Amino acid sequence: MTDVDFVSTRLVLIRHGESNTTVERRIGGPRTCSGLSELGRQQADRLARRLAETRELPATVLLSSGYPRAIETADALASVLDLEVTIDTRFGEHDPGPECDGLAFAEFIARYGRPDWETDPHATVFPGGETIAEFHHRVGAALTSVVREHVGGAIVVACHGGVVDAAFRRLLSLPITGNFDLFTANASITEFVHSRPGRWRLTRYNDSAHLAGLPVATMPAE
């Protein structure tokens, strides 16, 4: 495809609202996620109200990971965007595997030590779970597939902080570990534009103005 033939595509990543597992200080993988906290539902509702007022996201498809916390967030946006939610499990958070899923974070540290997210992306962080490299490959493949399927559209994905991090590293050709830290706020908007072949432009990150006045969300365990 030449620059003349190229059609720009928008990719909008919405991190889910505050989750019950974060409040409970547990590892909330796909087997034990119990959805949004009360504050998380308020955050998702605030985002929906903003989008209803501004009409800033004329989305052509609304995707969600398979985690209840992401699905609930997407459901809050569906009527505003006038779209049905399509589940795509490839946009799920880093899978800790069945052995660690649901563990209290303090118990995980006691058993396995503090995770090393910086050194070797192929190392076992969660026994029986995905490596960082496997997680990034999954998310990267999903991004490539979805963008190819919806060329010229505006793709909205309700997903997770780790997915936003993986998208940054994939779309902006950054290393998959190290170099920088992101803290993506609950129910925030991150947007990329496929501006020309092989080139993505970050147009906004952590846009959470709609959360003004709400209580501060629980910080994730680290």
Do 155 and 12 meet the contact criterion of CB atoms below 8 Å apart? yes
For residue 92, give Cα distances in angstroms to 31, 57, 61, 77, 143: 11, 22, 17, 18, 12
Q: Residue 80: pLDDT above 50?
A: yes
Q: Residue 222: pLDDT above 70?
A: no
Q: Which residue, chain included where needed, has tokens 């070797």?
A: 120
pLDDT in tens, 86-123: 999 999 999 999 999 999 999 999 999 998 888 899 99
Do 40 and 19 meet the contact criterion of CB atoms below 8 Å apart? yes
pLDDT in tens, 41-77: 999 999 999 999 999 999 999 999 999 999 999 999 9
CA gap 170, 90 in Å, rounded: 15
**Nearest one of 52, 13, 10 to 154, comparing CA atoms:** 10
Q: What pTM was computed for the model?
A: 0.95
CA gap 84, 63 in Å, rounded: 9
- 9-206 homologous superfamily: Phosphoglycerate mutase-like (3.40.50.1240)
Q: Residue 4: pLDDT above 90?
A: no
Output DSSP code: residue 118: S
Do 184 and 167 meet the contact criterion of CB atoms below 8 Å apart? no
Do 191 and 10 meet the contact criterion of CB atoms below 8 Å apart? yes
Query: CA triplet 144, 150, 156: central angle to 5 degrees?
Result: 85
Query: What letter represents residue 64's amino acid?
Result: S
Q: Which residue, chain included where needed, has tokens 């190819």?
A: 148
Query: CA triplet 166, 39, 35: central angle to 5 degrees?
Result: 60
Q: Residue 15: pLDDT above 50?
A: yes
Beta 154-159 vs 61-64: how paired, if at all?
parallel
Give the up-direction half-sphere exposure of residue 147: CA atoms within 13 A in the CB hemisphere.
24
> What integer pLDDT is reported at residue 1 of this predicted model?
47
> What integer pLDDT is reported at residue 212 of this predicted model?
96
> What integer pLDDT is reported at residue 200 of this predicted model?
96
pLDDT in tens, 137-180: 999 999 999 999 999 999 999 999 999 999 999 999 999 998 88
pLDDT cut 70: percent of the chain above it: 97
Q: Residue 3: pLDDT above 70?
A: no
Beta 154-159 vs 9-15: how paired, if at all?
parallel
